[in-house]
């Protein structure tokens, strides 16, 4: 029997591997077996229990990279699934399984698009690369960021990168992410003095002390955004204080907050403005900061043009550019790449029970990637 080399078959094979972060569960080996016959140089940059793959075909520029992750979020209670999460199942026009949309179908489409492209253009312009990790859905400290650091250390840079995140909203091709907002988190501890609620003159309530500053921070206009990004937002995610007793004034109030910021602001200016507010309110405090991603943006250049044309020619869809949503590994890749976008299947079911992707979208996704390769790496 002839081996089924379709995108659909490869997507099913990847979904069948229970690659919950940071376990790759053999996904990279499966992909590597398809890349080696095409002339790719394969390099594993595994670290911290995370599996990372860097594969390259060619030595010339421009360098086009397909990037993604083999890891998936936990499936949750398996009894809540109609069929087992790691048993890929087709029914009613959909392919079900954990990772179907986020993002094993994209990985399969990368591979089959490259296979067809290389068969048609064995001597193509530039280089084709893949950057794949098993540490995107977790804390993302040993995955793409480590590969980027290794590439930067030896002077390797990319010209174009397509991250296979599920960006489509209602139908395949209706949205490309051409950038993402930055994410800056803080853990603030406002110090007071613990005491009895009946003797407030002998205590200092940190909740009361912080309240005016909270109101100011929540009402501050941090920037106005720009053509690509909405205005920067500041949101409190957690507030905790007290011992659990109703007759004790707490000694410390801990507040967790996050900035999702546009390219009109920087992490440094947001930190400085926050400290200015806290200092003006005379608070005794400390803040631990964590920058998980800087904003990045890719304008209407060659990559956006080639991908948009491929979507229109394949799907008949006029795509929309957007920077909405959370962070992705694109934030790391943008450090060494001129143009970074994200494009993949409809994202309506990601991280949910009964995650799925339309069967009718699987092969067309691969064709879009293939035509983007043609648009960028053929004369």
Strands 52-57 and 356-358: unpaired
**175, 167 contact by CB (below 8 A):** yes
Distant-in-sequence, close-in-space partners of 141: CB < 8 Å, separation ≥ 6: 48, 135
Considering 136, 165, 355, 374, which one is annotated as catalytic?
136
Give phi and psi for 335, each to the nearest 5.
-70, -25
Q: Is 194 exposed, middle or buried (0-12, 13-18, 19+ CB in 10 A)?
A: middle
Evaluate whether 54 touches 43 at the Cβ level (below 8 Å): yes
179/325 Cα distance (integer angstroms): 10
Answer yes or no: are the C-beta atoms of 64 and 336 closer than 8 Å.
no
Tokens representing residue 211 in the block: 């309240």
Q: What residues pair up with 339 in beta bridges, in sequence order? A: 160
Cα–Cα distance, 51 to 48 (Å, whole number) = 9
User: What are the phi and psi torsion angles at 286 (to 5°)?
Assistant: -145, 150
- Is 159 catalytic? The answer is no
Give yes or no for a contact between 229 and 322, defined as CB atoms under 8 angstroms apart.
no
Strand 52-57 with 41-44, pairing: antiparallel
Beta bridge partners of 289: 186
DSSP state, 102? I
**The token pair that represents 181 in the structure block:** 């907002």
Of 71, 355, 370, 374, which is the active-site residue?
71
Chain centre to alpha carbon of residue 144: 10
Retrieve residue 271's tokens.
Answer: 């930190």
> Of 329, 289, 341, which Cα lies nearest the Cα of 140?
329
> From residue 80, how far is each of 83, 152, 157, 301, 358 by CA, in Å?
9, 44, 44, 45, 21
Active site residue 136: yes
Catalytic residues: 71, 136
């Amino acid at each position: 029997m002839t081996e089924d080399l379709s995108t659909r078959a490869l997507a099913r094979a990847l979904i069948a591997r229970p690659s919950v972060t940071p376990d790759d569960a053999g996904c990279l080996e499966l992909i590597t077996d398809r890349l080696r016959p095409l002339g790719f140089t394969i390099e594993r940059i595994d670290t911290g229990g995370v599996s990372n793959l860097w594969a390259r075909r060619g030595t010339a520029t421009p360098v086009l990279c397909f990037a993604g992750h083999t890891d998936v979020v936990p499936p949750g209670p398996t009894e809540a699934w109609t069929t087992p999460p790691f048993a890929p199942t087709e029914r009613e026009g959909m392919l079900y399984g954990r990772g179907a949309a986020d993002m094993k179908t994209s990985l399969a489409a990368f591979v089959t698009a490259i296979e067809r492209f290389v068969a048609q253009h064995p001597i193509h312009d530039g280089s084709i690369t893949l950057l794949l990790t098993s540490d995107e859905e977790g804390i993302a400290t040993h995955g793409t960021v480590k590969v980027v650091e290794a590439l930067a250390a030896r002077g390797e840079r990319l010209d174009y990168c397509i991250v296979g995140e599920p960006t489509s909203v209602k139908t395949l091709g209706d949205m490309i992410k051409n950038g993402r907002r930055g994410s800056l988190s803080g853990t603030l501890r406002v110090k007071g003095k613990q005491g009895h609620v009946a003797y407030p003159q002998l205590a200092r309530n940190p909740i009361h002390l912080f309240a005016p500053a909270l109101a100011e921070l929540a009402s501050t206009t941090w920037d106005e955004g720009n053509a690509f990004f909405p205005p920067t937002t500041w949101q409190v995610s957690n507030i905790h204080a007290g011992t659990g007793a109703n007759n004790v004034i707490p000694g410390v109030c801990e507040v967790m907050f996050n900035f999702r910021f546009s390219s009109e602001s920087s992490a440094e200016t947001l930190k400085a403005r926050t400290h200015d507010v806290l200092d003006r309110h005379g608070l005794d405090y400390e803040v631990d900061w964590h920058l998980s991603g800087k904003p990045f943006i890719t304008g209407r250049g060659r990559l956006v043009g080639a991908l948009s044309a491929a979507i229109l020619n394949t799907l008949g869809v006029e795509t929309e550019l957007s920077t909405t949503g959370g962070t992705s590994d694109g934030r790391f890749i943008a450090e060494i790449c001129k143009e970074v976008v994200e494009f993949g299947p409809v994202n309506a079911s990601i991280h949910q029970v009964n995650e799925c992707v339309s069967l009718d979208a699987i092969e067309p996704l691969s064709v879009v990637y293939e035509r983007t390769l043609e648009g960028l790496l053929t004369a």
